Structure 1
Amino acid sequence: MNDLPEIHKQVVGLIGYGKGRATTVSYISKLTGFSGVTVRRMVSEAVVKYGAPVGTCNEIGRGGYYIISNEDEKSDTVRNLRSRALKILMRAEAINSLPPQEQQEFYL
């Protein structure tokens, strides 16, 4: 993780240690001036490219990123990410199986 570029360090350095100190994207955005999309991309790159141990939580009132501090937090993050990935894949499949747009009418 020592190879983490300075710009990524600006983001990861603001992330709290442990799930109880999760830091929201909006808070990081406010402090850095980066958009939420940029913050999410930086965190993803920090984890995937540089091995930063950043966990994620989307529980109400505790959502955000955190530095993983134990095996339970690591397991929670893996379970959370896999669940979200599965839901995204299911949505993609549902959209893929829709009839061609010109044949479909949809009213709200």
Structure 2
Amino acid sequence: MTKVGILLGSLRKASFSRKLAENVANLFPEGYETEFVEIGKLPLYNQDFDDHNQVPAEYTTFRDTVKGLDAVLFVTPEYNRSIPAVLKNAIDVGSRPYGQSV
């Protein structure tokens, strides 16, 4: 079974991104399992947390979840000609500490 995590760049419950992602999740063929990965409750990334071994539980939960995935699908709106801050924060949390990115 191939596990695909879906990260939403919009936190709104009725967002177009969420509706699109829910529909896309149902289009994966047999042998794929999709899972929405919560990113809205991640504290803003701060390297001091990792450096001083004070990692928030939300970071650990997120990193462990992503480690268990085979692929990640980003579904996101564009905000001000860039990606939403919540998605950038999730990428920052997942890409640190250096050499241990998930």
TM-score (norm 2): 0.30
Q: Which has the larger radius of gyration?
A: 1
Higher strand residue share: 2
TM-score (norm 1): 0.29
Q: Greater relative contact order (Cα 8 A, min sep 6): structure 1 or 2?
A: 2
Higher helix residue share: 1
